[in-house]
Amino acid sequence: MARQQWTRTALRPRTPGPVARIAAVAVAALTVLAACSTGAPQRQGGSPVGHDGRPTVTVVVTPSPVAVPPTTITSPQAGRTVDPITPVTVTAAGGSLLDVVMRNPEGTVVTGAMADDGARWQTTEPLGYSKTYSITATAVNAAGRQTTTNMSVSTVTPGNMTMPYLNTEYGTPIANGGTYGVGMVVVVHFDEPIPDRAAAERLLQVTTTPAQAGSWYWLDSQNLHWRPENYYQPGTQVTVKANVYGQDLGNGLYGQSDEGVSFTIGRKQVTVADDTVAGPGRIKVYDQAGNVVRTMNTAMGRHGGTTVNGAYINFYTLNGSYTVLGHENPASMCSDSYGLPANAPGGYACENIPWATKISVDGIYLHELDTTLYAQSHGLDVSHGCLNLNRADAQWFFQNSLVGDPVVVKGAPGAPNVQVWQGGDWSLPWDQWLAGSALH
């Protein structure tokens, strides 16, 4: 059989039929999808090309932006009535605060501080009573959208207010930066009765350096005294604060203002008057080392008393521990001041008495009285309760004593003890003193 001959010929492209055209479209679609998902190679400086070098179509899909909610600005105190000392706060959720402006009714801006992250702002000064404050706060969210909110806050209207005064036992203001004796007693006087004594006492603070524990004692509903258990150490720094502003002291009575004072305790000097000494030298003044720095003669209060209009008037120099309350030169002294008429037996009209150092609220002094020199030198008790001195001793004691210096009187037979209300704070045993605190 003859071998069949094969001739190699070039293939010519044919016009695609319908099926081929559908396939081509499908391939093109796949190419488009591939370009979207895998990123086909491109010619530099030209159109994208597929693997066969033909141009392709690139489709870029941009996702829709996610909506960022606006910032929410709130204040817990908005629309409420608040006390004037709790800071007003403004917070931002979903963004950060750009600016907060708070104004009082007169338009004055209230000072405040913004947190570093802008999430919180708060006032840094007390507010006033009975005021409504406007707040305008602006914040921005992550998309840069700003939100502004307006709010208001109102403060309480007190039913009544009380002012604390920081005094000595004699009722004079404690001198800021002053120097006082080791028996100094701090007195806080409120000009209104205090319904909630415990609440008021918690707002009173005494700090001593070096530290020395002490306690308050309520004399009545308006006055309370503070002292340590023992005399202060010389050189002690004492700071007293009454932080009552904005605070409810009971039944709608609010503190009118905060008050504070600081003072120093000076050298120690203690004076002892011994009524059992039947002669000269009944008074001795001791320094902080216990040395006697002055010896003085005195005539003290006559023993007993008298009754006038049903009231008993005591002529004793009461036993107990006093402190120096003040200095008067002269002091005006009248028997009428303690209920004994000038024309009654033993009474006397007003006199100006020099070099008078007061040690009790109700009028016991160490003072000059030359008319009783005979009694002073013999230790006789002829006064109405004061300690009579000669001029030299009265002047020395006046010039060398500090308010708060202890003065101890002892030995008067049958004499009662000086009471706290009279200036005898140091006469009260410590356990009884503690019992006088509303927080005991």
Annotated active-site residue 367? The verdict is: yes
What is the separation, in whole angstroms, between the first and last Cα of the chain? Answer: 137
Measure the CA–CA gap between 417 and 435, rounded to whole angstroms.
19
Q: Residue 312 contacts by C-beta under 8 Å, 6 or more apart in sequence? A: 305, 306
Annotated active-site residue 386? The verdict is: yes
Measure the CA–CA gap between 302 and 407, rounded to whole angstroms.
19
HSE-CB of 270 using CA atoms within 13 angstroms: 16
Measure the CA–CA gap between 153 and 123, rounded to whole angstroms.
12
Measure the CA–CA gap between 196 and 304, rounded to whole angstroms.
41
The three-state secondary structure class of 187 is strand
Q: Which residue in the list 51, 225, 350, 386 is annotated as catalytic?
A: 386
Q: Which residue in the list 36, 327, 367, 378 is annotated as catalytic?
A: 367
At residue 282, what are phi and psi to the nearest 5 degrees?
-75, -20
User: Do 306 and 150 meet the contact criterion of CB atoms below 8 Å apart?
Assistant: no
Beta bridge partners of 353: 331
What are the contacts of 118-123 at 24+ separation with CB within 8 A?
118/92, 119/91, 119/92, 120/89, 120/90, 120/91, 120/92, 121/89, 121/90, 121/91, 121/97, 122/87, 122/88, 122/89, 122/90, 123/87, 123/88, 123/89
Closest CA to 178 of 425, 422, 406, 404: 404
The three-state secondary structure class of 21 is helix
Q: Which residues of 198-225 are buried (b: 16+ CB within 10 A; e: fewer)?
A: ebbbebbebebeeebebbbbbbeeebbb
Closest CA to 95 of 123, 113, 74, 76: 74
Give CA 63 to chain center in angstroms: 59
Measure the CA–CA gap between 91 and 4, rounded to whole angstroms.
98
Active site residues: 367, 386
